[in-house]
Amino acid sequence: MSAHHEQRLLDLTTAILASYHEHGHLSRADRADLPSRETIWAVVEEILRLLFPGFLEATEARSAGIHERTAERVRTIDFHLRAEIEKGLRFTAHEDGRPCDAAHLAAKATTDLLARIPAIRDLLASDIQAAHDGDPAARSHEEIILAYPGLQAIAVYRVAHALHEDGIPIVPRVMTEYAHSRTGIDIHPGATIGRRFFIDHGTGVVIGETCVIGDGVKIYQGVTLGAQSFPKDDRGRAIKGTKRHPDLEDDVTIYSGATILGPVTIGKRSVIGGNVWLTQDVPADTRMVVRTSQHMRPGSNVLDFEI
């Protein structure tokens, strides 16, 4: 390497270090310890194996050793998840400048989550049944567990939501981003979702933080349940903690590409057709569809089609 090139690299290093100083929030160095994304994602995979024993193992699992495997998995999750939750609590407390008994809160949140695993499995059983009933291509519950991205995203969401309800920062959002990266389905852990929830195909689905979804809801790929606008404070920053996203009542179906924005309500048993754009309430038992496209006959001089 020439002296000129070496000096050039030193100059580049100096410029990069200067940017660390200028934009300190982009650097983890000398800051309160943050949770590890890699560790949290590994914990998510262990939790999925706890939720679906034998389905996601690298090697064939026998029922004879399930007690020992489950006990070891519980200990592993407890150790690693508790540590990451504690980091998140300490970081948030440090940023807010307030005291926090992070170790105690992290231990309680972790054991509370493990205590909720049977209830989460019960919810997931209803989600699996909804997928089986709602998709004629589904041949078995086992196929849904192994192959359906919607179920994986819902399973991770239900775990992350339990932590979110306990007020745990950062970790639940990192968990749902694991599912987002694997499935293309983005469910904020703050959303509230009822039983028998089915996402068919799934890619491109977005469910915002303040969504409330009832029982028996079915949505298809490309659906957005988002916010229309953000109220801002006097400094132009988005005000957090406000209701911004839609509510879907029981047994609503939303077809692919539909976009529903703002704190609107879609009434029970309503059907929202593909590519519909909605920013207002929809009464119960209503069907909202894009106007049927017109048929263009060969040789006709049609300049425009209205959708």
Q: In this structure, are 155 and 273 located in the same domain?
A: no
One-letter amino acid for residue 46 of the chain? E
Q: In this structure, are 289 and 151 located in the same domain?
A: no
Q: In this structure, are 163 and 37 located in the same domain?
A: yes
Q: In this structure, are 89 and 226 located in the same domain?
A: no
Judge whether 82 and 107 are in contact, CB under 8 Å: yes
- For residue 127, what is the domain's CATH number? 1.10.3130.10
Four-residue CA torsion sign, 151, 255, 265, 230: positive
Q: In this structure, are 158 and 256 located in the same domain?
A: no
The reply to whether 74 falls in a domain is yes
pLDDT of residue 43: 98
pLDDT along the chain (307 residues), means of 10: 90 90 66 86 97 86 82 97 97 84 97 97 98 96 97 98 97 98 98 98 97 98 91 74 94 98 97 96 95 58 41
Residue that is last in its domain, among 184, 201, 221 = 184
The reply to whether 1 falls in a domain is no
Judge whether 201 and 151 are in contact, CB under 8 Å: no
The reply to whether 216 falls in a domain is yes
The reply to whether 11 falls in a domain is no
- Residue 262, token pair as written in the block: 């703002």
pLDDT of residue 303: 43
C-alpha 82/C-alpha 283 separation (Å) is: 45
HEC secondary structure over 138-164: CCCHHHHHHHCHHHHHHHHHHHHHHHH
What pTM was estimated for this model as a whole? 0.87
Q: In this structure, are 176 and 232 located in the same domain?
A: no
**Which range of residues forms the domain containing residue 53?**
32-184
Q: How many domains in the chain? A: 2
Using the structure block, give the residue that is written with the tokens 């939750």: 85
User: Distance from first CA to last CA of the chain, Å, rounded?
Assistant: 63
Q: In this structure, are 230 and 100 located in the same domain?
A: no
- For residue 241, what is the domain's CATH number? 2.160.10.10
pLDDT of residue 61: 66
3-state secondary structure of 7: helix
In degrees and rounded to multiples of 5, residue 254 shows phi and psi of: -125, 120
pLDDT of residue 297: 60
C-alpha 13/C-alpha 33 separation (Å) is: 24
pLDDT of residue 305: 35
Q: In this structure, are 100 and 206 located in the same domain?
A: no
Q: In this structure, are 164 and 203 located in the same domain?
A: no
The reply to whether 17 falls in a domain is no
3-state secondary structure of 224: strand
Judge whether 223 and 200 are in contact, CB under 8 Å: no
The reply to whether 15 falls in a domain is no
pLDDT of residue 30: 52
Four-residue CA torsion sign, 16, 17, 21, 25: positive
Residue that is last in its domain, among 138, 156, 184 = 184
Residue that is last in its domain, among 141, 166, 184 = 184
